[in-house]
Amino acid sequence: MTYDISIKKVTLAGASGPVGTAILKELLKSQLFDISVLTRHTSTHTFPAGVKVVPVDYTSTESLIAALQGQDALVSSVAMAAVPSQRLLIDAAVQAGIKRIIPSEFGCDLKNTAARKLPVFAGKVDIERYLDELAIKGETSYTLVFCGPFLDLGLRQGIFLNFEKREAHVYDGGDQLISTSRLGTAGKAVRRILTHPRETADRAVWVKDIDISQNQLLKLAKSLTPGEEWKVTQVNTAELEKESMAQIKNKEVGSKTMSGLLLRGIFAPECGNLFKHVHNSVLGITGISGPDLEELVASIFGTKKLE
């Protein structure tokens, strides 16, 4: 595969989810690409003007090949549960002559050994290995994007703390710094990857907006809710992993099994989510500062920023 390629026609899979929406917004804003999105035939989701909507059968290689013909790049932001299904999508992309594939990563650093072994990430690791095999054979090229947990999405979903209930589950003491990114930052990274295919070929890139600890976020949340009591529960992620692994071994997998492993991957210091070396400058990521963080938290929860 030659890396002297020009990427103009880009297809997105999973474009209606929070990550996909952010990527689509950034690509549209750049006005650099002809954009198509893949949707299921039953989907009623609407997309902005200028986006070509292509209904497909995600279980049919023929349907996917037809949809990807003539495209230069495939960007996937499918949800965690759909990650293994990307294999068929990748096969179709290769047969259609796609030059660059960006799979659905956008999270924990899976080059870290401790994170990589967690079963919750097995699907992503399998896709990564498969793409590497294809790249070695010269059949396509790929880029992995590691951006840590999403700060804005995680705040809204209560991963870092539950602002509405004034509750926080604090993991492993809460002092460890974690590299986080906003959804829009992932979109910017994807855009720059597509405009810099040679520099980003067959490798992982790391980006971040800010390094923040749970306790710092909790302190900020308390400052935005003066006089209110917060319920804080200390949680050991090693215990979460132990419980989840026991459930898997006993074939008693429930809704909390994978979430426990995901929390281990995000918050445990040994899982490497403090990114020491990032590609922010190459990918045009400027990050945010403390005051920006306060403004972000206040805007999400409708509270007044402190002067």
CATH number of 9-147+183-206, picked from 3.30.56.10, 3.40.30.10, 3.40.50.720, 3.30.450.70: 3.40.50.720
Q: Which two tokens stand for residue 66?
A: 């037809």
Q: CA separation (Å) from 251 to 106, 242, 259? A: 29, 14, 16
Structure confidence at residue 4 (pLDDT)? 63
Phi, psi of 227 (to 5 degrees): 80, -5
**Report field, pTM of the whole predicted structure over 0.85:** yes
The residue behind tokens 């402190």 is: 306
CA–CA gap between residue 191 and residue 202 (Å, rounded)? 16
Residues 66/97, Cβ–Cβ less than 8 Å = no
Residue 162 DSSP symbol: B
Q: Which residues contact 304 (CB under 8 A, 6 or more apart)?
A: 224, 298
The superfamily (CATH) of domain 151-178+210-301 is UDP-galactose 4-epimerase, domain 1 (3.90.25.10)
Q: For every one of its 307 residues, what pLDDT tens digit does the chain have, with 9 covering 90 and above?
A: 555 678 999 999 999 999 999 999 999 999 999 999 999 988 888 999 889 999 999 999 999 999 999 999 999 999 988 898 899 999 999 999 999 999 999 999 999 999 999 999 999 999 999 999 999 999 999 999 999 999 999 999 999 999 999 999 999 999 999 999 999 999 999 999 999 999 999 999 999 999 999 999 999 999 999 999 999 999 999 999 999 999 999 999 887 899 999 999 999 999 999 999 999 999 999 999 989 999 999 888 876 554 4
* H or E, element range at 176: none
Other Cβ atoms closer than 10 A to 231: 10
Structure confidence at residue 306 (pLDDT)? 45
**Could you state, in order of their start, the residue ranges of all structural domains in the chain?**
9-147+183-206, 151-178+210-301
Residues 26/188, Cβ–Cβ less than 8 Å = yes
The amino acid occupying position 162 is N
Other Cβ atoms closer than 10 A to 269: 15
* Whole-angstrom Cα Rg for the chain: 20
CA–CA gap between residue 275 and residue 253 (Å, rounded)? 31
Residues 15/209, Cβ–Cβ less than 8 Å = no
CA–CA gap between residue 50 and residue 134 (Å, rounded)? 32
* H or E, element range at 292: helix 290-301
Nearest to 170 by CA among 116, 274, 120, 178: 178
